[in-house]
Homo-oligomer: A and B are copies of this chain.
Amino acid sequence: MPKKPSRIQQRNRKKILDAGLDVFSAHGYRGATLDMIADAAGLSKPNILYYFNGKEDIHVTLLSQLMETWLDPLRALDPQGDPLEELLAYVRRKVDMAREYPRESRLFANEIVQGAPRMGPHLEADLKPLFDEKCAQIRAWMEAGLLAQVDPQHLIFSIWATTQHYADFEAQIRVLRTQDDFDGAAAYLETMFRSLLSPPAKD
């Protein structure tokens, strides 16, 4: 039976996870070392292994936590709301996440680019059902004439791609743009998806 963690345990586990997020998102799983994480956390390496069973344990803990919050914006897509506004709000939430949580986005990107070796089951179990459900919802909206007809799956892919791009490819964007400009991105993406999705005037 697991006893409740003490104050100090909570604090140190959090420090380690935050340090792990820094290091894993910046260097990938193999590029990260326990020493880096220990340094970033301000703890010794063996001390870290007192709180976690190993490097992989830290990583999968981070990925699991990530999965939770990562799906929230999509979950919040409301079947009762106005379809176009719901989808644009979804885009906005995703831009906000890329701005607020770029490390999480890159952690995820690192994992997926390399074939999701530690996350495949999570995708299948958590992401896929939600994805299918929301695709069906969008398709229903489209068939009711409330949105322009496009492939819902590709629609969602394009929302993910465009929004996460600003976090995942920040190094490239920093070279090409003079100013960081998430607001410009949000405005551009709203224009793009509005023009794509606005229902055909048909009365």
Contact = CB atoms under 8 A, between A and B. Distances in A.
Interface of A: 26-31, 106, 109-110, 112-116, 120, 123-124, 127-128, 131, 148, 150-151, 153-155, 157-158, 160-162, 164-166, 168-169, 171-173, 175-177, 184-185, 187-189, 191-192, 195-196
* Interface residue SS majority, chain A: helix
A113 B114 contact: no
Contacts of A177: 153
A53 B124 CA distance: 42
Given A28-B110, A30-B30, A192 B124 contact: no
Contact of A191 (B27, B113, B150): B150
Given A106-B113, A112-B169, A171-B120, A192 B196 contact: yes
Contact of A150 (B112, B157, B188): B188
A102 to B, nearest CB: 10
A166 B191 CA distance: 23
